[in-house]
Structure 1
Amino acid sequence: MKILIIRLTSMGDIIHSMCVLQFIKEALPNISIHWLVDEIFSDILKNNPDIDTIHSISLRKKKGLISRIKEIKIKTKELSNENFDLIIDMQGLLKTAIISYMINGKKAGFDKDSIRESIASLFYDKKITVPYKENIYKRNLKLINDSLCISKKELPLENINKYLFFSEKAKKRASELLSTKGKKIVFIPAASTGERVISISMYRKMIKLLPGKKFLTWGNKAEKETSQNIAENLEDTILLPKIDLDTLKALISACDLVIGPDTGPSNIPFAVKTPSITIYWDKAKNSNKRNTVNNQNNNSFSFSDLNDFDENIIVKKANILLSN
């Protein structure tokens, strides 16, 4: 059997979706899994042994509707030649539903009551019902199970194996960047929206109270400036150079703890089995709580506003995780 999974964006949602791969291969070891992703996120999928082929489409980088339509036509024509037995739209948007419709093969996706853009369900041959507010990991597994007629119904979050992988080159680079004795804590100051931002002063308060070496990541000029301001004159705090996504996966896998807001890279620790703390503001968490994971190693804390933030709560939990 040969299937195509469609999940184009974004980093966090792609990582959430990838956890199902190991369960597909466990139930159907001979299945061939292809994945269609926007090219700017393709590195997150690379080196995963459960994915047979990664197909990239350039939509985020294209400017204008006409150029994007042309890109979709070219890619869907190419994919139609693959003769997929089933195409599963894990994104559930009108855009991805149309893309799935343009590729030869039967289509599966969420039903109209299980997605925000309900019209997307019209393009699927098989429609799966999953409450929209259900935990995202359980939603994804339910969609896959029912689409592929796999009998396993429960998602044992505690038994999920590592499912993000990286190259040997990235592993070596991460080792060089973290080449220091003692505990290593990686901070991810970046946030995709303003309501998820943690202030510079909050980071500095946490860093001053935490043991070991602290490493600050960044991805663009604004994030670099933020990380520089956080690290300024703080002992045992290192501003990392800009690194690619492959190296970021390896870096997070090799450190002892990750702390950051609800942003794409903050989903990597769960997938590489690294302890983490994710900080939410109530407004952000209420709108995104179905994406959260709380277990022994991956924890989320919510505060009502900047005045409510208590660095001691984070530091206390961090010390517990670092001592395990």
Structure 2
Amino acid sequence: MKIAIVRLSALGDIIQSAIVLQFIKKFRQDIEIHWFIDERFKEILENHPHIDKLYALPLKNKKFFSSLKIAFEARKNHYDFVLDLQGLIKSALVSRILSLNNFGFDKDSLKESFAHNFYNQKLSIDYAENVFVRYLALAAFMLNAPFEPKDIYFKQPIFKADEELKNSLKQRFNLGEKNILIHVGSSVQNKIYPMTKLAILCKLLLHYDERLKIYLTWGNEKEKILAKRVLSLSKIDKENLVLLDKLSLKELIALTQLSSLVIGNDSGPTHLAFAMNKPSITIFGATPHYRNAFVTDINKTISIHKKIANVKHIDKSDFCIRNIDEEDIFSLAKDLLDER
């Protein structure tokens, strides 16, 4: 059996969607899996043991005709099933090109409801349902396989770090016995926790345990400025609070594996920690924590528990994330570190 998965973007969503890979392989080891991804994010899935072929579409540079050409060429693979985990018009169109036997969510279960017109088989599930439950429910629907949400608690790490790269990073960044990664940014402004509060959080953590080393990570120049601000505001010895160079996605995987705890906003790096079964705290504001993260004994969320009226249309002018007390994050972090 040969199937294609369409999940083009963005980084955090791709990381979360990858949970279906081990579920599919557990159902049938002989299933051949091809994944279609935006070229910008291909590194996160390159050489993944459960992916037999990765198709990178050059969507970043708006090379739509080139992307369509790749999809039409891939159609010759004669897929038994195509699974669209993105649920947007562009991903639905790609899935339709790949095969007429494609699976997606129905009209009421999508943000871009028109996308349902491109699917042959459609699953009805609340759009507000947890994303991991949605992805696995759609995969189970495609395979006619049993699935219970509790299965998520027993997942294996979705990504594995390269051992040689891990050793290189240990030396390069002089990693300590207990390492905390703090991701300062997000692609959406109102998902970013204030730098003043992050600086205080860093002080609290280092005062609590002098063996800790905190590493600040960033993904673009704007986020680098934010990370520098945390460093400046904290007035902490640079031996204990380190501003990292820009990491590749492979390096981010390796450094996540080497960390005792990952703290950050509702974004790719904290989702990666969950994917790798590493302790994490994800800070939520105007986005629904119950939908965008899965809470376990080691993966926690923190928010002001604001009721999100419409999860399909998040209010980007809502900066309620600023109301979260850094002391509450510290309390969660302390509990997770003590358990370690």
- Which of 168, 171, 174 is residue 169 of structure 2 equivalent to? 174
**More displaced stretch, 107-116 vs 248-257:** 107-116
Cα distance, 1:307 vs structure 2: 6.2
Please give the alpha-carbon distance, in whole angstroms, between the structure 2 residues aligned to 1:196 and 1:306: 7
| 2:199 matches 1:204 | yes
Contact 1:76 1:103 in 2 (8 A): yes
1:118–1:202 Cα change, 3 Å: same
| 2:301 matches 1:258 | no
Q: Deviations over 1:168-188 (max 9, x none)?
A: 443233322453333111110
Cα distance, 1:47 vs structure 2: 3.3
Please give the alpha-carbon distance, in whole angstroms, between the structure 1 residues aligned to 2:36 and 2:97: 13
Q: Residues 260-279 of structure 1: matches in 2 within 5 Å?
A: 260-279=264-283
- In the alignment, which residue of structure 1 is the partner of 2:13? 13
Contact 1:46 1:166 in 2 (8 A): no
Please give the alpha-carbon distance, in whole angstroms, between the structure 2 residues aligned to 1:309 and 1:85: 48
Cα distance, 1:92 vs structure 2: 1.0
- In the alignment, which residue of structure 1 is the partner of 2:287? 284
- Which of 102, 115, 128 is residue 107 of structure 1 equivalent to? 102
* Cα RMSD (Å): 1.7
Cα distance, 1:3 vs structure 2: 0.2
- In the alignment, which residue of structure 2 is the partner of 1:234? 236
1:46–1:167 Cα change, 3 Å: farther
Please give the alpha-carbon distance, in whole angstroms, between the structure 1 residues aligned to 2:280 and 2:231: 20
- Which of 322, 328, 334 is residue 319 of structure 1 equivalent to? 334
- In the alignment, which residue of structure 2 is the partner of 1:84? 79
- Secondary structure, aligned partner of 2:36: strand
Q: Residues 50-61 of structure 1: matches in 2 within 5 Å?
A: 50-61=50-61
- In the alignment, which residue of structure 1 is the partner of 2:40? 40
Q: Residues 122-201 of structure 1: matches in 2 within 5 Å?
A: 122-201=117-196
**More displaced stretch, 162-171 vs 260-269:** 162-171
Contact 1:87 1:100 in 2 (8 A): yes
| 2:302 matches 1:301 | yes
Please give the alpha-carbon distance, in whole angstroms, between the structure 2 residues aligned to 1:307 and 1:12: 22
Residue identity (%): 34
TM-score (normalised: structure 1) = 0.92
Please give the alpha-carbon distance, in whole angstroms, between the structure 1 residues aligned to 2:101 and 2:171: 47
Contact 1:185 1:255 in 2 (8 A): yes
**Code of the aligned partner of 1:30:** D
Please give the alpha-carbon distance, in whole angstroms, between the structure 1 residues aligned to 2:97 and 2:287: 35
- In the alignment, which residue of structure 1 is the partner of 2:314? none
* Structure 1 segments unaligned to the other structure (5+ residues): none
Contact 1:9 1:38 in 2 (8 A): yes
**Code of the aligned partner of 1:100:** S
Please give the alpha-carbon distance, in whole angstroms, between the structure 2 residues aligned to 1:129 and 1:170: 43
Cα distance, 1:289 vs structure 2: 3.8
Contact 2:264 2:282 in 1 (8 A): yes
Please give the alpha-carbon distance, in whole angstroms, between the structure 2 residues aligned to 1:157 and 1:245: 24
* Structure 2 segments unaligned to the other structure (5+ residues): 307-319
TM-score (normalised: structure 2) = 0.88
- In the alignment, which residue of structure 2 is the partner of 1:4? 4
Cα distance, 1:37 vs structure 2: 0.4
Q: Deviations over 1:260-300 (max 9, x none)?
A: 1111222110011110111122x233xx6411221111111
Contact 1:257 1:274 in 2 (8 A): yes
1:289–1:71 Cα change, 3 Å: farther
Please give the alpha-carbon distance, in whole angstroms, between the structure 1 residues aligned to 2:22 and 2:110: 24
1:144–1:155 Cα change, 3 Å: farther
Q: Deviations over 1:13-42 (max 9, x none)?
A: 111111111111111111001100001111
**Code of the aligned partner of 1:200:** M
1:177–1:270 Cα change, 3 Å: farther
Q: Deviations over 1:142-171 (max 9, x none)?
A: 100011111234442221110012334432
Q: Deviations over 1:229-249 (max 9, x none)?
A: 211331210111111011001
Please give the alpha-carbon distance, in whole angstroms, between the structure 2 residues aligned to 1:153 and 1:209: 39
**Code of the aligned partner of 1:150:** A
Q: Deviations over 1:64-122 (max 9, x none)?
A: xxx42x12321112211211111111111111111111224521111112112222112
**More displaced stretch, 165-174 vs 312-321:** 165-174
Cα distance, 1:12 vs structure 2: 1.1
- In the alignment, which residue of structure 1 is the partner of 2:250? 246
1:308–1:219 Cα change, 3 Å: closer
Please give the alpha-carbon distance, in whole angstroms, between the structure 2 residues aligned to 1:24 and 1:253: 24
**More displaced stretch, 205-214 vs 301-310:** 301-310
Please give the alpha-carbon distance, in whole angstroms, between the structure 2 residues aligned to 1:174 and 1:57: 30
**More displaced stretch, 97-106 vs 84-93:** 97-106
